[in-house]
Amino acid sequence: FDDVLCDPNGTPLDPTDDTYTFCLLVTNGSFAGQWEAEIGGVTITGSYGTPVTAGPYSIADGDVTVENIRDANSPSCTLGTDLTVPAPNTCSGDCQIAASFDDVLCDPNGTLSDPSDDTYTFSLLVTNGTLAGQWEAEIGGVTITGSYGTPVTAGPYSIADGNVTVENIRDANFPGCTTSTSLVVTAPDACSAGCQITASFNSVLCDPNGTPLDPSDDTYTFSLLVTNGTLTGQWEAEIGGVTITGTYGTPVAVGPYNIADGDVTVENIRDADSPACAVSASLNVPAPATCSGGLIVDCPLSTHYCPILDENIMLFLTDPFDCSATIDVPLPDVTTSCAGGNYEVITEVVQYVNGTAVVIQTILPGDPRLITGIAIGDYVFRYTVTDDCGNTVVQECIFRVSDLSEPVAICKSGLNISVGGFGLARIYAYQIDEGSYDNCGIDSILVRRIYRRDPLTCDTILQPYYSNWGPYVEFTCCDAGTYVTVELRVVDIHGNVNTCWLNVLVEDKTLPYCYGLEDAEVSCDSLPADFDPYDIAQLQAIFGEPEVFDNCAADAIEYAPVVEWSGCGNGTILRRFQAIDRVGNLSIDTFYQQIYVGSLGGYDIRFPQDVSLSCYEANPDTVQVIHNGCDSITVSYADSLAASSNGECRRVFRTYTVTNWCEWNGIADPVVINRDENCNGLAGEEDVWVLYRLDSTFVDADSSAYNLWPLAGAKDTICDGTTNPEGYWRLANSVG
């Protein structure tokens, strides 16, 4: 026995009614058949080799004993000892309810600047030992429910109202199972930050307005940044009576404004939803110097060989094997009206961090202009150009370092895989990857496969399709014997993608086998009249086919049977099978079924008594042969005429010859049956029966050799000096 299992019987908190079952297995060598046993006076039965679940039995009643384990058909074949199954411990537990909380979270309730309406929620977890089921509790007079072991989100509750108490935590089905204490959840601090609005500007840029030699129409723009602590949302402001808007933390390009008009003032900077949240003072933005005149400095966009983004951002790519860029810093486009046309350029590589310019590198006139190790991000080249006439212009040109290089995807050249015992197999991405790499780092490596056959029916698909990308691909028996294309996709940390592929040969190396067809023994009379022992289809219809086991689909092949057959319908038939699966794997062993066909070997012959007939009557009574076997028995007769003795018109002596061609050897003399077997001197006055059995042949007065008729001694001794035993006249030695 094994699997002794406790059942709480629907009352998980009451151990007194717990029951248990167990699994009982009885075997008898290689025999099939039934067994019997008693448990507590109750008989249980089962089949050899097949587990039987016994029970339920009360744990409170203790152990049970399996007694008198025996063969159902041969009770003398017994185990000889009893089997004691110990009762397990009860599985209904005591009340162990416990409660805890975490994840107390504040919600600003849509008003980030107003903490008065902030709310909070928390996660409540209730357990009861190892039990499943439902629990209940009250918070502020409101009942909440949940499942043991599953967190429940409670709330929202107003932070202004303070703490909450979880009370009367109890089992939903057994209210007596409860905790002894309540649970107090402390309200968190408000999470609306209040008004912290600030404003700043940078990148005040002059634009010659298309007239580089006329400073009177120069304009300027600047970048305005408004923040409000950690809050998100919209802000508003006025410049010269015009309202501008933006998002907290996102710079807004403002302008253009005429330099000739002087400075501009940003006024009434406020929260778009809460106007009372405002900057206390205005922001003054000084107008820059004009940029038109004798010296013009433009960004080198016309000579930049990489793409230009958003019309003014020069793009530089990372190096092939590093996640940074090596840049040959270009010179600006300079036009000067100063005599001689000479000028000097100081180049600074600048990155703005939270609105503050950080100079990364400075290139003086005459220095090498190749810089290395520039990380991914946005920068500016700040050109300070001074000509021989003393004119100085500062021009900032935006550039960006990006990783646009696809990773290098490397696949193994080929793989073979065999489906397993369940007809399934997987290949994981790491098993296909042969060392794919990227200059900045790989984010993911996934695989997919193409389907050309339906994975359920194995039918060919007219329009092949790919599986979803995932950590592995699966193969089934439908793929066995084919090449399946598998793709590997490599994605780097910046979203660049590359793929490679290979063909996977899917194989099925598991050999099938046949089982489940037992040898058979039948009598010939149970077979149809047209039975042909060589007819495979007829053999399958009568004696069945074996079961076939394989990890994939397989069938049984039946070969021509080996037949040893007599002309009287008996003999042996040896059926032979092999299992073959869909890819051609054959079972190692040949599976056999031996069929024994036998004759019952018994028949009855009734020889009729004398009969008187009218000349007009036909079909006088004749020999009757009754047999259940497959013997080939024929009846013939010969007539002779005798002189009339009582005035009849004809007197016929008919001699019958009954031959069993499956028994007679062709030369033995026949056994003679007398017309006066009872030796009473009256020949032919009653039927005479010959009863052939496997052990004896009886000459009898009726069709039963072992009844009380004829009575013992009924035969006169004058014929041969003997009389008869009870039930028949005499024994004969049949030769067929």
pLDDT per residue as tens digits for the range 131-145: 778 999 999 999 999
pLDDT at 306 over 70: no
Q: What is the CA radius of gyration of the chain?
A: 54
More reliable by pLDDT, 383 or 420? 383
Q: CA-to-CA distance for 144 and 514, rounded, in angstroms?
A: 60
Q: What is the identity of the amino acid at 543?
A: F
Q: What is the mean pLDDT of residues 710-729?
A: 88
Q: CA-to-CA distance for 680 and 557, rounded, in angstroms?
A: 67
pLDDT band with cut points at 50, 70 and 90 for residue 164? very high
Q: What is the mean pLDDT of residues 424-434?
A: 95
pLDDT band with cut points at 50, 70 and 90 for residue 476? very high
What pLDDT was estimated at residue 208?
Answer: 81
Q: CA-to-CA distance for 158 and 677, rounded, in angstroms?
A: 120
pTM above 0.85, yes or no: no
More reliable by pLDDT, 291 or 633? 633
pLDDT of 547-602, one tens digit each?
999 888 899 999 999 998 876 777 899 999 999 988 888 999 999 999 998 766 67
More reliable by pLDDT, 289 or 197? 197
Element (H or E) spanning 24, and its range? strand 19-24
What pLDDT was estimated at residue 292?
Answer: 67
pLDDT band with cut points at 50, 70 and 90 for residue 47? very high
More reliable by pLDDT, 17 or 151? 151
pLDDT of 401-427, one tens digit each?
999 999 999 999 889 999 987 889 999
pLDDT at 202 over 90: no
pLDDT at 112 over 70: no
Q: What is the mean pLDDT of residues 377-401?
A: 91
Q: CA-to-CA distance for 541 and 527, rounded, in angstroms?
A: 11
With H, G, I as helix, E, B as strand and everything else as coil, classify residue 14: coil
Task: Give me 582's structure tokens.
Answer: 């869909």
pLDDT at 720 over 90: no
pLDDT at 22 over 80: yes
**Residue indicated by tokens 């997987």:** 426
Q: What is the identity of the amino acid at 286?
A: P
More reliable by pLDDT, 12 or 686? 686
pLDDT at 531 over 90: no
φ and ψ at residue 430, rounded to 5 degrees: -65, -20
pLDDT at 14 over 90: no
pLDDT of 346-371, one tens digit each?
999 999 988 788 999 999 999 999 99
pLDDT at 339 over 80: no
More reliable by pLDDT, 538 or 525? 538
Q: What is the mean pLDDT of the chain?
A: 88
With H, G, I as helix, E, B as strand and everything else as coil, classify residue 259: helix
pLDDT band with cut points at 50, 70 and 90 for residue 8? confident
pLDDT band with cut points at 50, 70 and 90 for residue 100? very high
pLDDT at 693 over 90: no
Q: What is the mean pLDDT of residues 428-441?
A: 95
CA dihedral 656, 662, 664, 670 (to 10 degrees): -20
- pLDDT above 90 covers a percentage of the chain that reads 51
What pLDDT was estimated at residue 600?
Answer: 61
Q: Are 450 and 465 in contact (CB under 8 A)?
A: yes
What pLDDT was estimated at residue 268?
Answer: 92
pLDDT band with cut points at 50, 70 and 90 for residue 629? low
Identify the burial level of 512 via C-beta atoms within 10 angstroms of its C-beta, where 0-12 means exposed, 13-18 middle and 19 or more buried: buried
pLDDT at 266 over 80: yes
pLDDT at 113 over 70: no
Nearest to 184 by CA among 173, 169, 205: 169
Q: CA-to-CA distance for 466 and 486, rounded, in angstroms?
A: 9
